[in-house]
Amino acid sequence: MSREEPEFDGPETDRPNFLARLVRLNRYLLALLVIPVAVLYFRPPLKEQKAARAKLAEVTTRRDALKADAERLQRKLELIKTDPEYLESMARDRLNLQKDGEIILRFED
């Protein structure tokens, strides 16, 4: 006499679904923990970032001032090379030069 065991579909069929749900839940929990830690670890500190931005603004301002000076000096050099009247006025003003027989009167405030 062979006895057949009755089929029992209860916990054994639910077990793979339960494990799959548990694995999915663990993945979500891991993502919830790993992502904020990664963001906090790789984000530069706020103070260093502000200091770097302030330094960048300072360097940018200095660069702009140096560019303006370079342009001014370039224009001055071009005038010296091409305009004899400018060269003459610079010689008279800066070097106190005069032409022969000329008398220069300067009035200072």
Q: 84-109: per-residue pLDDT in tens?
A: 998 888 888 788 778 788 877 778 87
Kindly state the tokens that stand for 89.
């006025």
Amino acid at 26: N
Identify the CA nearest to 88 among candidates 104, 71, 108: 104
pTM: predicted TM-score of the whole model, two decimal places: 0.49
Q: 60-84: per-residue pLDDT in tens?
A: 999 999 999 999 999 999 998 999 9
Of the given ranges (11-15, 45-49, 93-97), which has the lowest mean pLDDT?
Answer: 11-15
Q: HSE (CB half, 13 Å, CA atoms) of 64?
A: 6
pLDDT for residue 87: 86
Residue entry with tokens 């006499």: 1
